[in-house]
DNA sequence: ACGGGGCGTGAAAACCTTTTCAAGAAGATC
DNA sequence: GATCTTCTTGAAAAGGTTTTCACGCCCCGT
């Protein structure tokens, strides 16, 4: 019994004298570095060195190890690797939702870039609820090398993600001046609706309605503010703001309100594209023509807008690029290529005119 | 030096005599179970027992440990946990793409169910390329407790995912009879278009076109087959099949072909909803009315279809439920509640008639 | 009063990899 | 030929957790 103690040295798994080990290695998960070492006739240290190219190894042994690893189909156990404090190869993505084309495009950008750079994605949604945020962040803890966070409602300091991992915020308020050391990537919410509204004014529209996005969403507030600024100086009845949301139903409901207004607006700036589609649907339903009676402009530039009927004028956000920039920046920080940035990087948006809006001045 | 050997016992981190450890624990990542044990004045084994409720512990110590853990904000290191071969808490999701409403709804179902059951998602896309499949599967290895795989092109045996982890296939061909021990969840591709086509026939349409999905996609093949079976016995010119795809552009292009046909079809069964929207867009563009001149029916039941114009008739697939069933089944297997099932579970689809199709017999 | 049976608890092994340290071999220089 | 240097290699520690094993204690029964 006391003699056992000193035998704590490496011995081949097969020839171990005492049988009361929990499970034979082969019964457990796949092949380990031991199996490779055994087969190649070298130590596990050498195997590690070969596989990670971390030190020069004799050519013959190198080949031996490589073929042994290939034969056995050896894949290093990621848990053991990250236990050493090395990279996990994961990027955590915290989003409010995943449904809808905006998020699917965002995910697309995040995913392709992550794949290109050799990372994979861990995803968790919060539904804008603080406890789900924190549960998600806790689940990510120690499993990822960095975090991409999009939270249109809760500001970073309220989220209290006290992660040691580098974090990039996307379209998240509360770090407007790069204060608090946060870094975020945003797009021009305010300027987007401002430009869209100004275009409508220049196109001869007088009474323009805005269907705003969900309450307390910072980006919805900014879009409303852009609309208000463009309409500054116009009488209140010429720039009504209607409660809405980011989904078609809400746009549909808002359209009923707008169709009944006196004077009736000849144009609508909607919170986003889905909302705009709902608005169009509701206006048609109320017997109005789009863009004959009412012009409608959306926001986001979702792919469907190109094929909806009428095709949708919109403020186009390069969503995929947004995701790509987020991941690239994050990976740069993770790999130490650059110091953690602070501040806000703004991605410009552009007004895309299609068939759902028309000019009244040059018919 | 030789005296050191026998001191391999637990000692408080702070009082270790030799200073040549790589890093002090406190400098590394957050707090460990040792810190909690130290603060609570118990052994690490007891801390583990309290936190996992794995064995009865004296009430007073339990409280002590719990407050200590809470005070320090202790989060167990997941790498160390999964190193023991325990659960990782992750579910791997391998998809061909993530863009489009079908996938975003699927993700939604997967994500909410996973969250409900205490799992998080690892996501990787393959773009239908074998090497990306295998890279994704390798990246998942050892990081997840199970896999959800959707591969409309490559069959499970061709994918060669030799994962020890339980796997649920979604809408994946090649395990039609539950052969090879695969388990998959599918929906009625063939029956869906069959029913849609039969409806159109009963509604008085004679010449009906099918715009098919991408080549080599098993589900596209099945949908075409459903169309063909419903049209069995009709002369070939009354049931043309046009090359298409799953995106709007392809539907748009197919519409040009259909608009020029002689005799011109009065109805179109499209590969999916996006395709149908493209078809509608293309038909309108060609000066035809939908559903006045041509009826169009899609497939999938994406949310946008309710608000497109005209609103879209479709074969509705309960996509969220699909995701939910996949995760629930998988977690049941992971947790040992049931043996790994084999075979196919079919989720029924339903024909939803909206404004893009009309009956010719009862006007 | 003494022996046996639970029950609670701590020590230490096990999980798998990377990395450091030391040692051995080979080569080079005087 | 001997010593020193360089290069390659293996042994072992470290990383944080769970789990097993064994020990000591208390309580109960005879």
Q: What is the pLDDT of residues A295-347, one digit of tens each?
A: 999 999 999 999 999 999 999 999 999 999 999 999 999 988 888 888 889 99
State both tokens at B30: 């957050």
Amino acid B165: pLDDT: 82
CA of B257 to C1' of C7 (A): 81
Who among residues 29-68 of A has its Cβ near strand D, under 7 Å?
42-46, 49, 55-58, 61
Out of A127-136, A163-172, B167-176, the most confident range is A127-136
Q: Provide the 10 A C-beta neighbour count for residue B361.
A: 8
* Helical H segments across B231-343, by residue range: 248-259, 273-285, 319-334
Confidence of residue A95 (pLDDT cuts 50, 70, 90): very high
Residue B127: CB less than 7 A from any atom in strand D: no
**Does A58 have pLDDT greater than 60?**
yes
Q: Do the chains contact at A308 and B306, CB–CB below 8 Å?
A: no
Q: How far is CA B74 from CA A35, A205, A302, B29, B30, in A?
A: 35, 60, 42, 11, 8
Does an H or E element contain A81, and which? helix A78-83
Q: Is the pLDDT of residue A244 over 50?
A: yes
CA distance B50 to chain A (A): 19
Q: CA A179 from chain center: how many Å?
A: 22
pLDDT at A1 over 80: no
CB-CB under 8 Å, A120 with B248: no
pLDDT in tens, B270-292: 999 999 999 999 999 999 999 99
What's the CA dihedral at B52, B56, B61, B66 to 10 degrees?
20
- Measured CA to CA, the distance from residue B255 to residue B252 in angstroms comes to 5
B308 to chain A, minimum CA–CA distance in Å?
6
Question: Could you check: is the Cβ of residue B25 within 7 Å of any atom of nucleic acid strand D?
Answer: yes
CB contact under 8 A, A142 and B311: no
**Is the minimum distance from the CB of B2 to strand D below 7 Å?**
no
Q: Parallel, antiparallel, or unpaired for β A183-187 and A343-347?
A: parallel
Q: Could B123 and A125 be called an inter-chain contact, meaning their C-beta atoms sit closer than 8 Å?
A: no
Residue A16 predicted with pLDDT over 50: no
Residue A7 has a CB neighbour count (10 Å cut-off) of 10
β-partners of residue B160 are: none
Nearest to A309 among B77, B82, B280 (CB): B280
Helix (H) or strand (E) holding A224: helix A218-230
Q: What is the pLDDT of residue A161?
A: 64
Size of interface A-B (CB pairs under 8 A): 177
What pLDDT does A178 receive? 45
- Cβ count within 10 A of residue A146: 24
The dihedrals phi and psi of A234, each to the nearest 5 degrees, come to -85, 145
Q: What is the pLDDT of residue B27?
A: 42
Structure confidence at residue B36 (pLDDT): 95
Contact A169, A149 (CB under 8 A): yes
Residue A63 dihedral angles phi and psi, to the nearest 5°: -60, -45
| Cβ burial, residue B85 (10 Å; 0-12/13-18/19+) | middle
CB-CB under 8 Å, A80 with B280:
no
C-alpha–C-alpha distance, residues A23 and A31, integer Å: 14
- Out of A284, A307, A310, whose CB is closest to B277? A307
CB contact under 8 A, A125 and B112: yes
Residue B72 is encoded by which pair of tokens? 């320090």
Contact yes or no for B136 and A142 at CB 8 A: no
Spanning CA of B9 to C1' of C11, the rounded length in angstroms is 8
| CA B205 distance to own-chain centroid | 36
Q: What is the strand order of the sheet B343-347 is part of? A: A343-347, A183-187, A167-170, A146-150, A90-95, A120-125, B120-125, B90-95, B146-150, B167-170, B183-187, B343-347
A4-11 own/partner pairs: CB under 8 Å, 24+ apart: A10/A43, A10/A44
Which nucleotides of strand C come closer than 7 angstroms to any CB of the protein?
7-21
* Positive/negative CA dihedral, B170, B174, B178, B181: negative
Which of A181, A242, A308 minimizes the C-alpha distance to B277? A308
Per-residue pLDDT of chain B (363 residues; tens, 9 = 90+): 333 333 333 333 333 333 333 333 334 457 899 999 999 999 999 999 999 999 999 999 999 999 999 999 999 999 999 998 778 899 999 999 999 999 999 999 999 999 999 999 999 999 988 889 888 888 898 899 999 999 888 777 777 666 678 889 999 876 544 445 678 899 999 999 999 999 999 999 999 999 999 998 999 999 999 999 999 999 999 999 999 999 999 999 999 999 999 999 999 999 999 999 999 999 999 999 999 999 999 999 999 999 999 999 999 999 999 999 999 999 999 888 888 888 889 999 999 999 999 999 876
pLDDT at B110: 97
Torsion sign, CA atoms B208, B283, A104, B96: positive
DSSP state, residue A232: T
Q: What is the pLDDT of residue A3?
A: 33
Which residues in chain B are contacts of A278 at CB distance < 8 A?
A: 307
> How many beta carbons lie within 10 A of that of residue B287, not counting itself?
8
User: In chain A, whose CA is at the least distance from the CA of B127?
Assistant: A112
Q: Give B273's contacts in chain A (Cβ within 8 Å).
A: none
Output DSSP code: residue B341: P
CA distance A308 to B308: 6
Q: What residues contact residue A68 under an 8 Å CB cut-off, 6+ apart? A: A36, A39, A40, A74
**What is the sign of the dihedral through the CA atoms of B290, B292, B294 and B300?**
positive
Nearest chain B residue to A106 by CA distance is B99
Q: Is the pLDDT of residue A163 over 70?
A: no
Q: Which domains, ranges and CATH numbers included, belong to chain B?
A: 2-76 (1.10.260.40), 90-188+319-348 (3.40.50.2300), 189-317 (3.40.50.2300)
CB A171 within 8 A of CB A152: yes
Distance, angstroms, CA B20 to C1' D23? 34
Is A194's Cβ below 8 Å from some Cβ in B?
A: no
Chain A residue numbers touching B81 (CB-CB < 8 A): 79
């Amino acid at each position: 019994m006391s003699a056992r103690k000193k035998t704590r040295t490496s011995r081949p798994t097969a020839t171990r004298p005492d049988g009361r080990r929990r499970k034979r290695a082969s019964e457990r998960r796949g092949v380990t570095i031991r199996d490779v070492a055994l087969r190649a006739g070298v130590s596990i240290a050498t195997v590690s060195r070969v596989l990670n190219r971390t030190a020069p190894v004799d050519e013959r042994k190198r080949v031996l190890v490589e073929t042994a690893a290939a034969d056995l189909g050896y894949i290093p156990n990621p848990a053991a690797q990250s236990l050493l404090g090395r990279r996990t190869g994961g990027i955590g993505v915290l989003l409010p939702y995943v449904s809808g084309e905006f998020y699917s495009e965002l995910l697309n950008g995040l995913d392709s870039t992550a794949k290109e750079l050799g990372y994979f994605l861990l995803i968790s949604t919060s539904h804008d609820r603080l406890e789900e945020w924190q549960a998600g962040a806790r689940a990510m803890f120690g499993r990822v090398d960095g975090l991409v966070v999009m939270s249109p409602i809760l500001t970073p300091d309220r989220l209290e993600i006290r992660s040691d991992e580098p974090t990039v915020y996307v379209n998240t308020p509360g770090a407007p001046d790069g204060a608090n050391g946060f870094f975020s990537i945003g797009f021009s919410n305010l300027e987007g609706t401002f430009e869209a509204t100004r275009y409508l004014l220049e196109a001869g529209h007088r009474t323009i309605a805005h269907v705003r996005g969900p309450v307390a969403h910072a980006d919805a507030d900014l879009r409303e503010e852009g609309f208000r600024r463009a309409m500054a100086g116009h009488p209140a009845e010429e720039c009504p703001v209607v409660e809405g949301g980011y989904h078609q139903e809400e746009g549909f409901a808002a359209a009923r309100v707008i169709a009944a207004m006196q004077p009736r607006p000849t144009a609508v700036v909607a919170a986003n594209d889905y909302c705009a589609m709902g608005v169009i649907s509701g206006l048609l339903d109320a017997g109005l023509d789009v863009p004959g009676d009412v012009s409608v402009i959306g926001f986001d530039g979702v792919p469907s807008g190109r094929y909806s009927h009428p095709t949708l004028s919109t403020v186009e956000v390069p969503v995929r690029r947004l995701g790509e920039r987020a991941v690239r920046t994050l990976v740069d920080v993770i790999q130490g290529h650059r110091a953690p940035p602070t501040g806000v990087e703004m991605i410009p948006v552009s007004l895309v005119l299609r068939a759902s809006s028309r000019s009244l001045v040059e018919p």
